[in-house]
Chain A
Amino acid sequence: MRIALLAAAGLLAAALGSTGAYADDGHAPNPPREKWSFAGMFGRFDQAQLQRGFQVYKEVCANCHAMKLVAFRNLSEEGGPGFSAAQVKALAETYSVKELDDSGSEKERPARPADRFPPPFPNDKAAAAANGGKAPPDFSVLAKARTYERGFPWFVFDALPFTSYSEQGVDYIHALLTGYEDAPKGFEMPGSGYYNKYYPGHVIAMPNPLSEGQITYPKDDKGQPVVPETVEQYSHDVAAFMAWAAEPHMMARKALGLRVILFLIVLAGLLYYVKKQVWKKVGGEVHGLQPELHKTY
């Protein structure tokens, strides 16, 4: 109640022109724009990248970050990382979930593909308590929940075909994961937290989660990793995985969109031709009117 009142008061102040409730952005630089296979009208997820990204999530991020809205089965569904149903079943069985048995007592059982990813902490309070007072954000829609301001005139171009840009959230996540550095001279660090170039306010509670060679990627025929085992690569892969987790039907959406828009363009062309034909007839006496009955002003 008190929190709600305080919040409402702060809001009102914001609404009425006070600068008090307006949080300082810390003037973080804009994240660099990365190349993503899934960007643009013809963008598609790179299955191998999503599988590697899932590996990063599973081995590193999942220790603190839940992904409550994603089910194991999603990993084998169309347009995703493309694991086989058998792989997903085996993966799910390595997790255990709690449920009530017939006597009403809680018991654990191996997870099934239909189950959602079990969170690392039993509830938000436990997650907050274990992480310095604030629960780590859930990964399910995080790639859509983050963005940065593009400003005029860029935001106009972002909406248009050919210059279209909707990967701000993914770019931000990639920038954040690679943005850990020493605080510049004169920057006052509070007692806890880490300096991050791209985090608003620069002080982030999460320690740098990724380091060179931390995750062992699949090897090719010669025994070499298929992609470099670098922070840059890990970060790319996990950001792409998060983009999929936030929008699992993106590929279906873009494919359907192309067909719908082409159909509409053809239909509009035909209708325009019909319209021209119809209007050609206009002239002289127009039939179907009784002007003497129609009131004019």
Chain B
Amino acid sequence: MSSAHATSTYVPKSRAAKWFESRLPLVGLVHSSFVAFPVPRNLNYFYTFGAILIAFLGIQIVTGVWLAMHYDPSAANAFESVEHIMRDVNYGWLLRYAHANGASMFFVAVYVHIFRNLYYGSYKAPREVLYLLGVIIYLLMMATAFLGYTLPWGQMSFWGATVITNILAAIPVVGDTIQSLLWGGYSVGNPTVNRFFSLHFLLPWMIAGVVVLHVWALHVTGQNNPAGIPIKSSKDAVPFTPYATIKDVFAVVVFMILFAWFIFYQPNYLGHADNYVPANPSVTPAHIVPEWYFLPFYAILRAVPDKLGGVILMFGAVLILAFAPWLDTSRVRSCNYRPVYRVFFWVFTANAIILGWLGAKPPEGGYVIASQICTAYYFAHFLIVMPLVGLFETPDRLPGSILETVTGPGKQVSGSGMPAGAAAEPAKRG
């Protein structure tokens, strides 16, 4: 934390505070990280999603701990205990709908966060480690969400667990062992619910741990920004508090409106009706579909007419994200100044959304062919587009400073002349 700590301007005043600070400089650390920490002044609202994600991690942990007090992780009682929460626990319906929709909102926020990162090139040097920690958080989130979706022990829970654990069996050499370890037997059953519940409780704490590292790494390198250029003088930055704090709090509250809409008025929209049918090993649902946030990867899995191949591509689709810092050859970070790559970025985004749509469709006929084309393009974006465009593209002229992107080139800043909205907007190029 040396770098972040070095910016601390915290001076303990009382004797007690001095005594404590000289033994553990905790207040100084918090002060340097969340008060004095300089953030680029041109950050737009896409940069508030980190705070939104931390809010959701908190919401998920608090609602989850409460739900766990009433939930019974057994094949015989899980479904009924969830309905007990919905019917008989005081505000149990609120806890459960908040937790279920909270998972979806968590993914909405993480996808905005990831695509913001890709657009502004935040993964590039010197933020590779910060970025890799983010990829690890994303992987942990996916595992946690999958485990959580199995717990109500409805039809989709059961069959989703069956599909995914069967996928893992395709891994050479260790696949079968992993599968029977997860099952706790020879099929998905009672021991599976027991251990999935235990793991679902464990993983969020691991996420919280990696989030601490993620924030730490962020405070060592400093934040990227829509211009993709570093802070060069104090005029390029504002202290985290109050500027970023108030903006983050505002954004979190706005996002909560969306969250509340789903909890109170569309609580089952993002779920699946089949999960209100108790798990039944002898009846396969007509469509086995994962939660919406897994659909692009589900489409990739089904695009390959070979089990192992599908599994490799599906995991590869996530893991390839980790190589982005080295696959992208451009030295310019922000797509605002990359006229060619910017187009490819939006094509990639559209391609990911189409893959999601295909993941919800039955694996037949044209849908399979379309999935194959989109899967090929997904990987081509990383393996071909990223390296090549960086080599051949002529980027636009970068601004001289972050300040210039806010006030325009050559202008001096006056004390109050800057319109408040200007700082919230990216340079008007993307």
Contact = CB atoms under 8 A, between A and B. Distances in A.
Task: Name, among B264, B287, B417, the residue most crowded by chain A CB atoms within 10 Å (CB to CB).
Answer: B264
A74 B87 contact: yes
Interface in A22-52: 22-23, 25, 41
Contacts of A152: 357
Given A253-B93, A282-B418, A291-B233, A22 B302 contact: no
Nearest to B160: A11
B99 interface: no
Contacts of A91: none
B80 to A, nearest CB: 7
Interface in A88-123: none
Interface of B: 3, 6-7, 9, 35-36, 38, 41, 80, 83, 86-87, 93-94, 97, 125-126, 159, 162-163, 166-167, 186-188, 221-222, 230-235, 237-239, 242-243, 246-247, 249-250, 253-254, 256-257, 260-261, 263-269, 273-274, 276-277, 281-282, 284, 286-288, 301-307, 310, 357, 362-364, 368, 413-418, 420, 423-424
B281 A7 contact: yes
B128 to A, nearest CB: 12
A146 B274 CA distance: 7
Interface stretch (A13-21, A214-222, A233-241): A13-21
A12 B234 contact: no
Contact of B83 (A141, A200, A276, A279): A141
A22 B286 contact: yes
Contact of A286 (B187, B235, B263): B235
B265 A1 contact: no
A258 B237 CA distance: 40
Contact of B281 (A4, A146, A268, A289): A4
Given A14-B284, A288-B9, 13 more contacts: A4-B187, A11-B284, A14-B288, A69-B83, A144-B268, A152-B357, A159-B266, A161-B265, A249-B93, A264-B260, A265-B257, A291-B231, A293-B7
Contact of B423 (A19, A161, A166, A282): A282
B284 A3 contact: no
B116 to A, nearest CB: 19
B362 A22 contact: yes
B284 A21 contact: yes
Nearest to B286: A23
A248 B234 contact: no
Given A268-B257, A289-B234, A158 B269 contact: yes
6 contacts: A7-B281, A11-B159, A17-B363, A264-B253, A280-B420, A297-B126
A28 B46 CA distance: 44
A32 to B, nearest CB: 19
Contacts of B188: 4
Nearest to A142: B276
Contacts of A159: 266, 269
A268 B302 contact: no
A296 interface: yes
B260 A260 contact: yes
Contact of A264 (B97, B230, B257, B273): B257
A74 B86 CA distance: 13
A62 B220 CA distance: 66
Contacts of B41: 282, 286
Interface string A273-297: 0111011111111111111011111
A284 B414 contact: yes
B231 A282 contact: no
A137 B278 CA distance: 10
Interface string A147-163: 10000100000110100
Interface of A: 1, 3-5, 7-8, 10-12, 14-19, 21-23, 25, 41, 69, 74, 137, 140-142, 144-147, 152, 158-159, 161, 164, 166, 168-169, 200, 246-249, 252-254, 256-258, 260-261, 264-265, 267-268, 271-272, 274-276, 278-291, 293-297
B239 A288 contact: yes
A256 B288 CA distance: 34
A7 B284 contact: yes
B265 A296 contact: no
A276 B246 CA distance: 9
A283 B126 contact: no
B246 A8 contact: no
A254 B307 CA distance: 45
Contacts of B187: 1, 4-5, 8
Given A260-B264, A279-B420, A166 B276 contact: no
A36 to B, nearest CB: 14
B267 A8 contact: no
Contacts of B307: 12, 16
Nearest to A77: B87
Given A21-B284, A283-B413, A294 B162 contact: no
B260 A144 contact: no
Nearest to A169: B273
Given A8-B162, A279-B420, A282-B41, A257 B7 contact: no
Nearest to B372: A17
Given A21-B284, A282-B423, A69 B237 contact: no
What are the 9 A-B residue pairs with the smallest beta carbon separation, nearest first? A257-B264, A145-B276, A23-B286, A147-B273, A4-B187, A271-B250, A288-B239, A291-B234, A279-B420
B282 A145 contact: no
A185 B292 CA distance: 40
A141 B277 CA distance: 8
Nearest to A69: B83
Contact of A253 (B221, B222, B267, B414): B267
A208 B266 CA distance: 32
Contacts of A146: 273
Contacts of B83: 69, 140-141
Contact of B247 (A145, A275, A286, A290): A275
B249 to A, nearest CB: 6
Task: Name, among B239, B305, B362, the residue most crowded by chain A CB atoms within 10 Å (CB to CB).
Answer: B362
A29 B202 CA distance: 45
Contact of A257 (B231, B243, B260, B287): B260
